Amino acid sequence: MPDPQEVLSRVFGFPGFRPGQSEIVQAVLAGRNTLAIMPTGGGKSLCFQLPALCRDGVTVVISPLIALMRDQVRALRAVGVEAGALTSGNTEAETDEVFQALDDGRLKLLYLAPERLANAGTQAMLRRVGCTMIAVDEAHCVSQWGHDFRPDYLRIGELRQSLGVPLAAFTATADAETQGEIIARLFGGQTPETFLRGFDRPNIHLAFAAKDQPRKQILSFITARRGRSGIVYCGTRARTETLAQALRDEGHPAIAYHGGMEAELRRQAEVRFQQEDGLIVVATVAFGMGIDKPDIRWVAHADLPKSIEGYYQEIGRAGRDGAPAETLTLYGADDIRLRRSQIDEGLAPADRKQADHARLNALLGLAEATGCRRQVLLGYFGEQAGPCGNCDLCDRPVEIFDATEAVRKALSAILRTGESFGAGHLIDILRGNATDKVKARGHDRLPTFAVGRDMAKSAWDAVFRQMMGRDLVRPDPERHGALRMTDAAVPVLKGEQPIHLRRDALKSTDRPAVKAL
Ligand code: ADP
Ligand code: ZN
């Protein structure tokens, strides 16, 4: 059977599973009857689409809305998956095509409108084409008391029994009564493997910090937790080695771990981490999959994680025992630049690159959040929550200020220099530093020259970083480090849209904002 993780990234282009998905996918793949309750937007469709691709035969998907089915079929076909729908909205040609694909044994997912189940031929047809699983979307439609009861859903249980195949039911409705009805009507009263889990891990404290002196920031976070086990995630293999050494120099028991190490060394590191109290592992994301250590007390990110999904997975390794655990995630303009250029320079098609940029924007939105961080995190996974009282922003709310003028000055400096320069040079212009480069290009004669001398270099660093974080400017993939304005910046430049930034990031000292670790 294909590796689900590999299919996830190759077919769907996702860097990792969302909370809950991997467990559900495993149960469905193994052919167990499954009931998954997940908030809307949590990523339910993937939990049956991915297993359908990995399993033999056809997966039948029952869904109440024709529009929804057509959307999913379109999206699946766009990534090269053989999917089709039989609904009343089909043209004759579409229906013929679906039957042709079924007869050829090509089709992996067959979306079926529930009304079809009333049709006498449907069961025989499904048996003939080799249906090996039934997935039911919006399974609460089987509930007679709910607001969207669909009588045809009552036929699904009968279909399951007559085909003798496993059934996976999905819904966002969590109340016990609806669950009971689903179990009675879809599963014939036999309790399926049930997944009902909020995404929240309330014992994990969340905190982010802008990179200032990253090595020092990480060291002081760890020194304050001396003797406790934890993981530091780094963006590169080389950095895991240098940071592990720096920690040992400070008297911490620390070892490096990355995918480039020999398998035997990696295995030894895993065993030591499981067994030794207080050991620190400095690792790339290669570390953690098979680790089951309940008392990891902290997780730090020395570099920005790859995605919110990755962030959640990595911090989620802390505090599995339910006792308080802490996290710290560092991020800087260099991370944003690196990530953008990795996306731009990758081989993915344009729409996938766009989706990757949007996902990066969501992560940066979490990093530069202005309200409760957990609310932002859970909101991304579709879960509503109040302020948590266990994150840096609940501990210490940030001050927001109107940065519209500063941002407009920065955008103007970018445009007047032909979108050809990086933040360092632009900040020299804004602050009126007549460096050799500034003079050589005549940039000391620009109207923008020195219009930003009232703000410190570090304050400008923070403004540029937040502008990148909000995708107002992007590094030009063709010209390393040069910033270009995006469409999102146009209304700001025109003065039509105010921009509020976080004040906390704007310090008055003039230290460089980013130093090599
Ligand atoms: P639901 O049916 O639970 O409301 P969807 O299946 O429509 O949610 O998924 C919501 C969004 O999450 C979709 O845009 C989907 O592409 C995205 N998504 C699902 N799984 C992942 C994943 N593992 N990583 C990133 N995005 C995902
Ligand atoms: Zn909070």
Does 235 sit in the ligand 1 pocket, CB within 6 Å?
no
- Residue 350 is predicted with a pLDDT of 87
Does 138 sit in the ligand 1 pocket, CB within 6 Å?
no
Tokens representing residue 81 in the block? 């998956």
Q: State the pLDDT confidence band at 515, using cuts at 50, 70 and 90.
A: very low
- Residue ID of nearest Cα to ligand 1 atom 26: 14
- Give the residue-averaged pLDDT of 436-442: 96
**How buried is residue 443: exposed, middle or buried, by Cβ count under 10 Å (0-12/13-18/19+)?**
buried
Q: Ligand nearest 37 Cα, by number?
A: 1
pLDDT at 439 over 50: yes
- Ligand 1 centroid–CA 133 distance in Å is 21
- Residue 504 is predicted with a pLDDT of 63
- Residue 45 is predicted with a pLDDT of 95
- Residue 146 is predicted with a pLDDT of 65
Q: State the pLDDT confidence band at 61, using cuts at 50, 70 and 90.
A: very high
% of the chain exceeding 70 in pLDDT? 96
Output the pTM of the full model: 0.74
Q: Of 81-95, 231-245, 349-363, where does mean pLDDT reach its minimum?
A: 349-363
Does 48 sit in the ligand 1 pocket, CB within 6 Å?
no
- Greatest CA separation found in the chain? 83
- Residue ID of nearest Cα to ligand 1 atom 27: 43
- Residue 508 is predicted with a pLDDT of 35
Tell me the pLDDT of the chain averaged across its residues: 90
Q: Of 43-52, 94-103, 467-476, where does mean pLDDT reach its minimum?
A: 467-476
- Ligand 2 centroid–CA 388 distance in Å is 4
pLDDT at 513 over 50: no
* CA 431 – CA 453 distance, rounded (Å): 4
Q: Ligand nearest 360 Cα, by number?
A: 1
CA-based radius of gyration for the chain: 27
| Higher-confidence position of 253 and 19 | 253
Highest mean pLDDT pick, 12-21, 230-239, 337-346: 230-239
- Give the residue-averaged pLDDT of 419-442: 96
pLDDT at 79 over 90: yes
- Residue ID of nearest Cα to ligand 1 atom 13: 43
- Give the residue-averaged pLDDT of 178-200: 90
Q: Tokens 């025992």 appear where?
A: 321
* CA 33 – CA 35 distance, rounded (Å): 7
Alpha helices in 306-456 (DSSP H): 308-315, 333-345, 350-367, 373-380, 392-395, 404-416, 423-431, 436-440
Amino acid in the structure at residue 270: E
CB 109 within 8 A of CB 81: yes
End-to-end CA distance of the chain: 42
pLDDT at 507 over 80: no
Q: Ligand nearest 390 Cα, by number?
A: 2
SS (H, E, C) 88-122: CCCCHHHHHHHHHHHHCCCCCEEEECHHHHHCHHH
Tell me the pLDDT tens digit for each residue of 382-395. Answer: 788 899 999 999 99
| Higher-confidence position of 357 and 248 | 248
Q: Are strands 325-331 and 298-301 parallel, antiparallel or unpaired?
A: parallel
Tell me the pLDDT tens digit for each residue of 333-352. Answer: 889 988 988 899 888 888 88
Does 340 sit in the ligand 1 pocket, CB within 6 Å?
no
Does 45 sit in the ligand 1 pocket, CB within 6 Å?
yes
Residue to mutate, 45, 48, 138, 308, ligand 1, most ligand atoms under 8 Å from C-beta: 45
Q: Ligand nearest 392 Cα, by number?
A: 2
* CA 282 – CA 261 distance, rounded (Å): 13
Ligand 2 is an ion; its neighbours by CB within 5 Å are 372, 374, 388, 391, 394
Tell me the pLDDT tens digit for each residue of 358-410. Answer: 889 889 999 999 899 999 999 888 788 899 999 999 999 988 889 999 999 99
**How buried is residue 113: exposed, middle or buried, by Cβ count under 10 Å (0-12/13-18/19+)?**
buried
Tell me the pLDDT tens digit for each residue of 131-184. Answer: 999 999 999 999 877 667 889 999 999 999 999 999 999 998 767 788 899 999
pLDDT at 90 over 80: yes
Q: Ligand nearest 366 Cα, by number?
A: 2
At 170, is the secondary structure helix, strand, or coil?
A: strand
- Give the residue-averaged pLDDT of 76-101: 93
Highest mean pLDDT pick, 15-19, 82-86, 143-147, 379-383: 82-86
**482 closest CA partner among 397, 413, 409, 403:** 413
pLDDT at 499 over 80: yes
Does 41 sit in the ligand 1 pocket, CB within 6 Å?
yes
- Count CB atoms within 10 A of the CB of residue 79: 15
The counts of H helices and E strands in the chain are 21, 18
- Residue ID of nearest Cα to ligand 1 atom 23: 17
Does 316 sit in the ligand 1 pocket, CB within 6 Å?
no
Tell me the pLDDT tens digit for each residue of 213-230. Answer: 999 999 999 999 999 999
Does 42 sit in the ligand 1 pocket, CB within 6 Å?
yes
